[in-house]
Structure 1
Amino acid sequence: ERNRDPILNVLKQIISPDGLVNVLEIASGWGYHVTYFAKFFDNVKWQPTDGDQSCVNKINQKLASSNKNNSNISKPLAIDATTNHCVWFNGMYQRCHFDCILCINMTHISKWQATEGLFSGSNYYLKPNGSLVIYGPFIVYGDFIHKNNISFDKQLKSQTLEWGLRDVSQLNKVAEDNGMKLEKIFDMPANNKTLIYRKH
């Protein structure tokens, strides 16, 4: 919850206030972000997802127990970003459906295949000129930004070598392979970044 307002401020610059906008969130966790953001965008239809069914259940519980109007939040779905994106929704959403895809704090605590899947899925499901918004700690062209990020990266790798901070240059390569290009990097609190990738 500590990072929700800084991310919200970025989204207000990215998401159009006009017309119906469809946003897919990958790795929604317990739904703290999507349920907060939804209050500020009346024209946005949010689709939360997570690879962990227990998180999907938590989002359902959160929506059911809320006394707020959650009509602009769709039923959460179980999506594993490491799987083939063509089967993510079993035909519920077709190619080029979403205007924006949002992913918060996933790339450093998941397999690299999940990041690759995030980009390939974005290429498939984003509309032309759609945006992929990724928040988290990153290495920026070889620079850890702060010594805390170095120790955090070591801590993650001590749990599993498949985890760790990703370098923006790595992400740019995967983006290019999937028809996207880095448009902007926002500086965020606590040595984090928000990366905006635009689909060609």
Structure 2
Amino acid sequence: MMINPENDVKQYAPATERNRDPIFNVLVTVLPPKGNILEVASGTGEHAVYFAPKLKDRQWIPSEPDEIRRKSIEAWQQFSPSPNLCHPYNINVLNSNWFEPLKDLEITTIVNINMIHISPWEACLGLIQGASNLLPLEGILYLYGPYKREGKHTSPSNESFDQSLRSQNQYWGVRDLESVVEIAEKQSFKLLKTVAMPANNLSVIFQKVS
């Protein structure tokens, strides 16, 4: 991640420009007919400012627990404003009741990009549990990132990435897709589909069914 000089607090994630169009192209095929979109762990804010203007009939609601990144999101909002892009919420999915302040926002989709491998496993559990509490019936949970399948890495680059993550933090790492699906199913979701994405990533889409 790069930080822009000259006192500009906008942050930049190089992968965003590469993956934003493929992500958007998948996302629009699974959005419910109406309702707002919560982005959990919005990071730099680059996805939010890119997606929101393309979905003007919905509110895009970014969130991020890190204060520096929330400031980056706000700076991107000022740089590229869109009336349907909300102020970022301070949300940490490790808090068991993180979804409570959002219950009146008519959220029908939750988007989470590149988080669960750069956070402890408990963050994945908290995300899915909170999403189950927040989303209505037929609501969508969209996850993006690298995954192992049947316990094996899908490419040498993902294996190297996993090793790099674990060397930085023992609680990080590329997750087993089957483990994520199992947790989601226990929280009233069904797996709608997985879609192969650039750089050996996956879009993993769940729907609330009960």
TM-score clears 0.5: yes
C-alpha distance in 2 between matches for 1:150 and 1:139: 9
Q: Is 1:51 aligned with 2:60?
A: no
Q: Gaps (5+ residues) in structure 1? A: none
Residues 64-122 of structure 1 deviation map (CA, whole Å, 9 limit, x = unaligned):
233x4x111111011111111x2x26x54227931110000001000111100110111
Count matched residues: 193
Q: Does 1:6 align with 2:22?
A: yes
Q: Is the 8 A contact 1:24 1:48 kept in 2?
A: yes
2:136, 2:125 → 1: CA distance? 19
Give the whole-Å Cα distance in 2 for the aligned partners of 1:165 and 1:155: 10
Contact 1:25 1:49 in 2 (8 A): yes
Partner secondary structure for residue 77 of structure 1: coil
Per the TM alignment, residue 40 of structure 1 is displaced from its structure 2 partner at its CA by 1.2
Contact kept, 8 Å, 2:36 with 2:105, in 1: the verdict is no
Matched residue, 1:170: 179
Query: 1:41-190 residue pairs with structure 2 within 5 A?
Result: 41-66=55-80, 68=81, 70-84=82-96, 86=97, 88=98, 91-94=100-103, 97-190=106-199
1:51 is paired with a residue whose SS is coil
What is the alpha-carbon distance in structure 2 between the residues aligned to residue 97 and residue 23 of structure 1? 9
Which segments of structure 1 move beyond 4 Å, counting only runs of 4 or more? none
> What is the percentage of aligned positions where both structures have the same residue?
38
Q: What TM-score do the two structures reach when normalised by structure 2?
A: 0.87
Question: Partners in 1 of 2:38 and 2:105 — Cα distance?
Answer: 12
Matches of 2:163 and 2:44, distance apart in 1: 26
Letter in 2 for 1:35: V
Q: Kindly tell me: are residues 47 and 96 of structure 1, through their superposed partners in 2, closer, same or farther at Cα, counting changes over 3 Å?
A: closer
Cα distance in 2 between the residues matched to 1:15 and 1:144: 29
CA distance in 2, matches of 1:92, 1:158: 35
Distance 1:32 1:65 in 2: 11
Where in structure 2 are there 5+ consecutive unaligned residues?
1-16
Q: Which has more strand, going by share of residues? A: 1
Match of 1:132, as an amino acid?
L
**In 1, Cα distance between equivalents of 2:67 and 2:102:** 20
Match of 2:137, SS state, is: strand
Correspondence list, 1:22-33, <5 A: 22-33=36-47
- Rounded Cα–Cα distance in structure 1 between residues aligned with 2:207 and 2:73: 28
Contact 1:140 1:169 in 2 (8 A): yes
After TM superposition, the score normalised by the length of structure 1 is 0.91
